[in-house]
């Protein structure tokens, strides 16, 4: 038996239309219950301040993006990056439905601060799934998506964007920090990162945390697999 859902999911004062969302019914129920991306939302509320400029990697449907945009207010700025181009219309709908503005670009997001794409990402492509929230980067033999990759440095240079904060949820691609020094610029004072030990293994997830600590950040908060780092 499939339970009927309301027209909109209401979460912490924001509304998200459910019509046409390319996700399973059970995940729509999560939205209606208000338990979607709760750890990220909790840390965003606790650490993202009004007026901040936020770079978001892994924008998805724009639900977390909407919370960021509300948190930073009109004095702030949000630049989001999403790998799956089919999600961008839903991202735009969720922001506009709540009277908020931001910008989202389509690219494969690499959280490093150099123009060079790390070797481990060459010859990989975004693998979409029927459940649009479950797509991941995988190796491919049918040509590569090297030209679609953009590092944080490249995104910020092309968009003339100088972020104070990063919000990162890229389904395991954060493991590039194991090969490439993080080297975030000094103007980045906050990083909220979801780690994915279910994909990368717990040892690599822990090494990614250490990479941020080695870059001068300290762990300021955590909820499940999501951590807030400040410096």
Whole-prediction pTM: 0.92
Q: Looking at the predicted structure, is the pLDDT value of residue 132 above 60?
A: no
List the domains of the chain with CATH numbers: 37-230 (3.40.50.150)
Give the pLDDT score at 3.
64
pLDDT for 77-118, tens place per residue?
Answer: 999 999 999 999 999 999 999 999 999 999 999 999 999 998
Instruction: For the chain, give the DSSP string.
Output: -PPP--SEEEETTEEEE-TT-SS-HHHHHHHHHT-SSHHHHHHHHHH--TT-EEEEE--TTSHHHHHHHHHH-TTSEEEEEES-GGGHHHHHHHHHHTT---EEEE-EEE--SSSSPPGGGTTEEEE--SSTT--EEEE-SS---GGGEEEHHHHHHHHT---SEEEE--TTGGGGGGTS-----TT--EEEEE--HHHH-HHHHHHHHHHHHHTT-EEEEEETTEEEEE-
Q: Looking at the predicted structure, is the pLDDT value of residue 8 above 50?
A: yes
pLDDT band at 11 (very low <50, low <70, confident <90, very high): very high
pLDDT band at 140 (very low <50, low <70, confident <90, very high): low
Q: Looking at the predicted structure, is the pLDDT value of residue 24 above 90?
A: no
pLDDT over 70 for what percent of the chain?
Answer: 89
């Amino acid at each position: 038996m499939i339970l009927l859902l309301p027209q909109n999911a209401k979460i912490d004062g924001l509304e998200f239309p459910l019509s046409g969302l390319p996700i399973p019914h059970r995940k729509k129920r999560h939205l209606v219950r208000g338990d979607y991306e709760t750890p990220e939302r909790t840390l965003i509320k606790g650490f993202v301040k009004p007026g901040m400029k936020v770079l978001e990697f892994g924008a998805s449907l724009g639900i977390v993006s909407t919370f960021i945009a509300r948190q930073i207010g009109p004095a702030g700025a949000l630049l989001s990056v999403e790998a799956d181009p089919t999600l961008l219309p839903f991202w735009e709908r969720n922001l506009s439905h709540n009277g908020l503005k931001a910008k989202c670009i389509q690219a494969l997001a690499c959280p490093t601060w150099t123009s060079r794409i790390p070797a481990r990402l060459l010859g990989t492509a975004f693998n979409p799934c029927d459940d649009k929230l479950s797509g991941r980067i995988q190796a491919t033999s049918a040509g590569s998506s090297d030209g679609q990759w953009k590092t944080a440095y490249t995104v910020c240079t092309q968009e003339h964007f100088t972020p104070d904060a990063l919000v990162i949820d890229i389904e395991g691609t954060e493991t590039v920090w194991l090969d490439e020094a993080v080297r975030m610029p000094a103007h980045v004072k906050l990083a909220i990162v979801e780690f994915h030990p279910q994909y990368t293994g717990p040892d690599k997830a822990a090494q990614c945390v250490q990479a941020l600590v080695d870059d001068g950040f300290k762990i300021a908060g955590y909820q499940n697999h999501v951590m807030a780092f400040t410096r």
